[in-house]
Structure 1
Amino acid sequence: MIKNVVFDIGNVLINFKPFEFLRERFADEAVVQAVYSTIFESKEWPELDRGTITEEQATENFCRYCSEYEEEIRKVMREWHSMLTPIEATVDIFKELKQKGYKIYVLSNYHMKAFESTYNNNEFFKLADGMVVSHRINMLKPEPEIYDFLLKEYSLNAQETLFIDDTLANVEGANKAGIETIFFKSAEALREKLKGLKLL
C-alpha cells in the first residue's frame, strides 16, 4: 500500500524549458543554440545541481568557453530563474494527495540559488513532509545513494513509496532501490495513473 508520494521538481512541479526561454530573448537561432550548448549542456550544469560549484564560478567558465556571446550568457545567467514557474495542474495533484493524508516528499536535482528562488516563490512546497535536494547533499539522481538517502532520512519503506519523475534514468534508479514509480509525461496522464492506483 502506498503511503508516501515523492515528486521530482523540474518539468513535474516547475517548468524548465530553456529553449523557449532563450528564443524569447534572442531572435538569432545561432545565438540560441550556442548559448544553450554552452550553459545547459556544460559539465558545470550537473555540478551546479551537485553543489560543487557556484553560479558565479559557472558563469565565468561559460564566458571563457564562448567569449563571443559573453553578454548573452551573462544575461541568461542573471535571468534564467524566471522560467521556473509552477505547473499548476501537477501542483493541484500534489495538494490533493496531501489532503488525502499521504506523506509528500520532494527528490530533485536542483541548483542552490535556483532552489531558494523556487521554494520562496511557491507556497505549496511548505506542504511537503520532507525534501531531498541534490545540492544540499552533493548527490545526484540517478545515483543509488540519493534514493537510499531519501529512504533513510525519512524512515520510508520503499514498497510504500511512489516516485514521480520525468526522466527515465531517474525512474529506473528509483526502481532499482525498490521504490514504486510513475514516469511523468503530463499532469493529465499522472492524474489518470493515480486514479488507477486508487490514490486519487
Structure 2
Amino acid sequence: MINTIIFDIGNVLTGFEWKAFFQKFGYSEEILDRISKATVESGTWAEYDRGALSDEEIMNAFIANDPGIERELRESLENIQGMLIRYDYAIPWIKELKGKGYRVLVLSNFASRAASDCKDALDFLEYVDGGILSYKEKFIKPQPEIYELLIDRYQLNPTECVFLDDTLANLTAAEKFGIHTVHFQNKKQAEMELSKLGVK
C-alpha cells in the first residue's frame, strides 16, 4: 500500500520557462541557443545542481563553455528571478494528498541560486513534509546516494512509496531501490497512473 508520494520539482510542480525568461533580455535566437548550450545542455549544469561550486565558480564555468557570450551570461544569470513558474495545481494537489493521509516529499536536482531567486515559485515547499534538494546534499539524481539519503532520513519503506519525475533515468534509479515510479507528463496522466497503484 502506498503511503508516501515523492515529487520531483522541475516540470512536475514547477515549469522551467527557459526561453521565456531569456527573451526578456532581447537576445537573438542564436544567443539563446548559445546560452542554452553553455548552461543547461552542458555537463556544467550538473555541478550547478550539485552545489559543489560557489556562484562565481559556476558562472566562470558557464563562461568557459562559451567566452563569447560572457556579458549575456552574467546579465541573465546573476538574477534568475522569474525563470520558474509554480503550476497552479501544485499546492491544491499537495493539500489534497495530505488530506487523504499521504506523506508528501520532494526529491529534486535544484540549484542554490534557483532556490534563492525563485522563492515565489517554491512556495509549495512549506506544505510538503520534507524532502531533499540536491544543492544542500551535494548529490544529484540519478546518483544512488540521493535516494539512499531520502530513504534513510525519512525512514521510508520503498515499496510503500511512489516517485513522480519527468526524467526516465531518475525513475530507473529509484526503481532499483524498490520505489514505485510514475513518468510524469501532466497531472491528469499522473493521477491515472497513481490510481493504478491505489492512490486515490
Q: What is the TM-score when the length of structure 1 is the normalising length? A: 0.91
Bigger shift: residues 99-108 or 121-130: 121-130
- Report the Cα offset of residue 27 of structure 1: 4.7
Residue pair 1:109, 1:133 contacting (<8 A) in 2 also: yes
Deviation at 1:166? 0.5
What are the superposed Cα offsets for residues 1-54 of structure 1, whole Å, 9 maximum, x if unpaired?
000110001111111132333344335211111111112223321112111112
Instruction: Give a deviation string over 1:156-197, Cα, whole Å, max 9, x none.
Output: 000001100010000111011110110000112112223343
Any conservation in 2 of the 1:95–1:124 contact (CA below 8 Å)?
Answer: no
Q: Which residue of 2 aligns with 1:80?
A: 80
Partner of 2:107: 107
Higher helix share: 1
| TM-score, normalised via structure 2 length | 0.91
Provide the secondary structure at the position in 2 that maps to 1:73: helix
Aligned length in residues: 200
Aligned position for 1:42: 42
Q: 1:90–1:187: 8 Å Cα contact kept in structure 2?
A: no
* Aligned 8 A contact 1:84 1:118 in 2: yes
Give, as a single letter, the amino acid of the residue that structure 2 aligns with 1:41. E
Give how far 1:120 is off.
5.9
CA drift of 1:146 comes to 1.1
Call closer, same or farther: CA 1:91–1:184 in 2, change over 3 Å.
Answer: farther
Gaps of 5+ in 2: none
1:63 aligns with 2:63: yes
Map 1:25-40 → 2, pairs under 5 A: 25-40=25-40
- 1:85-132 Cα deviation digits (max 9, x unpaired): 101224432221112110110101111121234456543211211111
| Corresponding letter in the other structure for 1:115 | A
Q: How far, CA to CA, are the matches of 2:191 and 2:31 in structure 1?
A: 38
Contact kept in structure 2, 1:142 and 1:173, CA below 8 Å: yes
Aligned: 1:134 with 2:134: yes
Q: In the superposition, relative to structure 1, how do residues 119 and 79 fare at CA in structure 2: closer, same or farther (>3 Å)?
A: closer
Whole-Å Cα distance in 2 between the matches of residues 119 and 162 of structure 1?
Answer: 26
Shift in alpha-carbon separation, 1:60–1:93, aligned structure 2, 3 A: same
Q: Percent identity?
A: 34
Structure 1 residues 21 and 174: alpha-carbon distance in aligned structure 2, compared to 1, 3 A threshold: same
Verify the 8 A CA contact 2:6 2:106 in the aligned structure 1.
yes
Q: 1:165 to 1:147 in 2, by over 3 A?
A: same
Q: Is 1:153 equivalent to 2:120 in the alignment?
A: no
CA distance in 1, matches of 2:30, 2:121: 33
Q: Which residue of 2 aligns with 1:195?
A: 195
Residue in 2 that maps onto 1:173: 173
Change (3 A) 1:36 1:121: closer
